[in-house]
Amino acid sequence: MRSKIDLGDVLKYVDGQRDFAIELYRGFIPIKALAPENGGDGEWDRANYLLGVAKRYFDEVRVMEAPDNRVSRGSRPNVIALIKGLDASRTYWVIAHMDTVPEGDRSLWSYDPFKATVVGDTIYGRGVEDDGQGIVMGITVGKVLRELGIRPPINYGLILASDEEVGSKHGIQYIINREPNLITGRDLVVVPDAGNADGTMIEIAEKGILWVRITVYGKQAHASLPELGLNAYRLGSELTLEIDRKLHEVFNYEDPLFIPPRSTFEPTKVEPNVGNVNTIPGRHVFYIDCRILPKYGIDEVLKVIRDTANNYCDKHGCKVDVEVVSREDPVQPTSADSEIIKRLSKAIRIVRGLEPKLLGIGGGTYARYLRARGIPVAVWMTSKETAHAPDEHVFLSDVINDIKTVVASLLTEP
């Protein structure tokens, strides 16, 4: 074990990890890890492979199983690996997820989505970014510490969680409910699952998310005799625009921390109605996706939607139901003064020579469940934002820079 660590030497050593990163990608990208909701059998095969790799570099590796009868193994695996630090009372966690979404339309891919194809500095495949980049980064940081014989100032921990793509119930949510003291407010947490192209964006806040389903009931009739019916499609369309206008008018506050700075309200999905052209539909079902600034409560938004719908239908003789499909209440952002943000910011300046920006986003990561418990979290990586798209890819130089940045933020004082 070394007593004095020279950061420059360590970062140089990270430069030599390119081949390891490629080998690791080629090992796990071909092993599918899909949630049952996406037609898969869970993450166990991929977890077993990664477990084997992690055991080579970490002091302790274990699996926390979240019961799930829908998959053949009866549970979803969450890998927890630890390298003991000089101060073993605190941990610097990297939390990545093993599951991916399906490849989508195969004909849109230029390369086999399950092969991890390297072309110059680019590696292609489903899950290489989301969240393979976090997996490779998290494991390689452990490898570098182990091979250089570095005992970090505090523990270095890696969590490879399941079930992120469909809600984290069997992943991070299960972990923090099962072991509420595993990750505490004194720990430092990086979630490498969102970022920007030059690695300068640190996400410290997320909007609340509300999905509502609105059903308008009219009366079905022959299209040639509209006076005998009540066209739910027409009423529903008018109501869509009315709610849309109202939400944008009431919730118009702008917070420059967020991209975009306003709450967003988008009518999205419409359910199929009648099967033929000459019938007036008696029922129209549509959905609205709402991303709400922490300044507002989800109940306030719901009230405006319900009041607008009820007023409209009172006036037009229809009936209406408003149901919540999904809600994630906004949580307190991570403070810009928290230690993880300061450490990571300093490391970005050292490794990238760029000034980091702290931002909020409308998307949801599992940082929200940790922040809800008062744990400061930096959501960060370098990302070209190709997640879920055909030809998902990452630049290997970005992967290497991200490993350097995490190593630097772990080893240097803020």
The set of catalytic residues is 99, 164
Q: What SS3 string covers the chain?
A: CCCCCCHHHHHHHHHCCHHHHHHHHHHHCCCCCECHHHCCCECHHHHHHHHHHHHHHCCEEEEEEEECCCCCCCEEEEEEEEECCCEEEEEEEEEEECCECCCCCHHHCCCCCCCCEEECCEEECCCCCCCHHHHHHHHHHHHHHHHCCCCCCEEEEEEEECCCCCCCCCCHHHHHHHCCCCCCCCCEEEECCCCECCCCEEEEEECEEEEEEEEEECECEECCCHHHCECHHHHHHHHHHHHHHHHHHHCCCECCCEECCECEEEEEEECCCCCCCCEECCEEEEEEEEEECCCCCHHHHHHHHHHHHHHHHHHHCCEEEEEEEEEECCCCCCCCCCHHHHHHHHHHHHHHCCCCEEEEECCCCCHHHHHCCCCCEEECCECCCCCCCCCCEEEHHHHHHHHHHHHHHHHCCC
* Window 175-204: residues binding Zn ion (CB under 5 A): 193
Min separation Cβ 194 and Zn ion, Å: 8
User: Which of 131/402 has CB closer to Zn ion?
Assistant: 131
Min separation Cβ 129 and Zn ion, Å: 8
Q: Which stretch binds Zn ion (CB under 5 A): 48-56, 123-131, 228-236, 251-259?
A: 123-131
Using CB under 5 A as the binding rule, whether residue 328 contacts Zn ion is answered as: no
Using CB under 5 A as the binding rule, whether residue 392 contacts Zn ion is answered as: no
Residue number, nearest CB to Zn ion: 130
User: Which of 54/191 has CB closer to Zn ion?
Assistant: 191
Q: Which stretch binds Zn ion (CB under 5 A): 79-87, 125-133, 254-262, 393-401?
A: 125-133
Min separation Cβ 162 and Zn ion, Å: 12
The CA-atom distances, in angstroms, between 394 and each of 133, 140, 353 are 8, 16, 21
Using CB under 5 A as the binding rule, whether residue 131 contacts Zn ion is answered as: yes
Tally Cβ neighbours within 10 Å of residue 40.
17
Min separation Cβ 202 and Zn ion, Å: 17
- Confirm if 191 and 138 have CB atoms less than 8 A apart: no
Total of residues contacting Zn ion (CB under 5 A): 3
Q: Which stretch binds Zn ion (CB under 5 A): 129-137, 226-234, 285-293, 389-397?
A: 129-137
Min separation Cβ 292 and Zn ion, Å: 21
Closest Cα to residue 50, out of 112, 110, 139? Answer: 139
When binding is defined by CB under 5 A, the residue of 103, 130, 163, 206 that contacts Zn ion is 130
User: Which of 131/328 has CB closer to Zn ion?
Assistant: 131
User: Which of 216/406 has CB closer to Zn ion?
Assistant: 406
Q: x/- string (CB under 5 A) for Zn ion, residues 19-58?
A: ----------------------------------------
User: Which of 131/398 has CB closer to Zn ion?
Assistant: 131
Q: Which stretch binds Zn ion (CB under 5 A): 130-138, 173-181, 314-322, 388-396?
A: 130-138
Min separation Cβ 94 and Zn ion, Å: 14
Tokens of 123: 């590696």
Distance CA 198, CA 351 (A): 11
* Window 63-122: residues binding Zn ion (CB under 5 A): none
User: Which of 99/187 has CB closer to Zn ion?
Assistant: 99
Return the biggest CA–CA distance within the chain.
Answer: 88
Q: x/- string (CB under 5 A) for Zn ion, residues 136-175?
A: ----------------------------------------
Min separation Cβ 70 and Zn ion, Å: 21
User: Which of 192/218 has CB closer to Zn ion?
Assistant: 192
User: Which of 131/392 has CB closer to Zn ion?
Assistant: 131
Q: Which stretch binds Zn ion (CB under 5 A): 19-27, 72-80, 107-115, 131-139?
A: 131-139
* Window 351-380: residues binding Zn ion (CB under 5 A): none
Closest Cα to residue 99, out of 225, 9, 193, 178? Answer: 193
Min separation Cβ 209 and Zn ion, Å: 15
Binding positions for Zn ion, rule: CB under 5 A: 130-131, 193
